[in-house]
Amino acid sequence: MISNVNRLAAEGGVIVSHAPSRLPRVLRLMRDVALLIVPAVAVAMTLLVAWEMRGVPFTLFDGILSPLRRPELYPSNWLNAGHAIVPVVFLIANLVNRRYGEDFALAHVFVSWSLVVLTALAVVLRADPLLPDPGEVPSLRVMGAFLGSMAIGQLAGVYVFDRTRGVVWWKAPLYSALTSSFIAMFLFYPTAYAGSVPNWANHMAVDAGTKAFMSFALLAAYMVLRPIVRPTGGLGGY
């Protein structure tokens, strides 16, 4: 029996080879980009709130991480509510990792910090009159140290989360947040302040302790969101 191809060739017909449709891949890409936008905006908004709260002293550790009755040594002289809000970005990354897995979480880190950089540049350069006044802007050294250390800390946290997720629900988010906090702070302070601020090591220790405390506190938010942000098929975690 002659095949359809041979028959068409014998009859002088034209055989057209159709390339496979790329539409599904494009749609998947559009879906992934759309899914990345929401957590990236959440990170940018979290950092914006932290920046706006920089004038509110964080007094929780006064007399605990400093001598009693020595207000001149209290952390709240420099530690503010913004320092305590920053770890929310680690919670966001953990939720993304829980839902979509390590590869998607890595993409989230890249997209979110790219958005943060673009937003910061737009505010600092006053790209639009409607943008808020940045006020006292940190030096380029401090800004670069913050962005770099936070991104590296989050990447490390993504790695830890993916390798500790499992039956015990709190291990992955806690270990990931602690890893992100300590790596980010131990990179940020010497990079930003060594040689210019005499007591930067003390500030680093206090800030790392603050973010470790918030890593434990934010487990409550993670626990509440677990039934809503469920892992996709093939991913572990409870």
Kindly state whether residue 234 falls inside one of the protein's structural domains: no
As for how many domains the chain has, the answer is: 1
Confidence of residue 66 (pLDDT cuts 50, 70, 90): confident
Query: 113: closest CA among 36, 175, 174, 192?
Result: 36
Cα–Cα dist 179/64, whole Å: 23
Range of the domain at 215: 20-225
Q: Could you tell me the pLDDT band of residue 11, with boundaries at 50, 70 and 90?
A: very low
**How far is residue 65's CA from residue 62's CA, in Å, rounded to a whole number?**
6
Mean pLDDT of 204-222: 96
235 within a domain of the structure (yes/no):
no
Do the beta carbons of residue 88 and residue 218 sit within 8 Å? Answer: yes
Using alpha carbons, select from 193, 192, 164 the residue that is nearest to residue 178: 164
Which pLDDT value is given to residue 133? Answer: 65
Q: For residue 158, tell me if it sits in a domain.
A: yes
Q: Determine the Cα–Cα distance for residues 104 and 30; give it in Å rounded to an integer.
A: 14
In a domain, 60, yes or no: yes
Q: Is residue 103 part of a domain?
A: yes
181-211 pLDDT tens trace: 999 999 999 999 999 988 999 999 999 999 9
Supply φ then ψ for residue 139, to 5 degrees. Answer: -70, 165
Domain assignment present for 67: yes
Is residue 10 in a domain?
no
User: In one letter, which amino acid is 91?
Assistant: L
177 located within any domain: yes
pLDDT greater than 70 at residue 25: yes
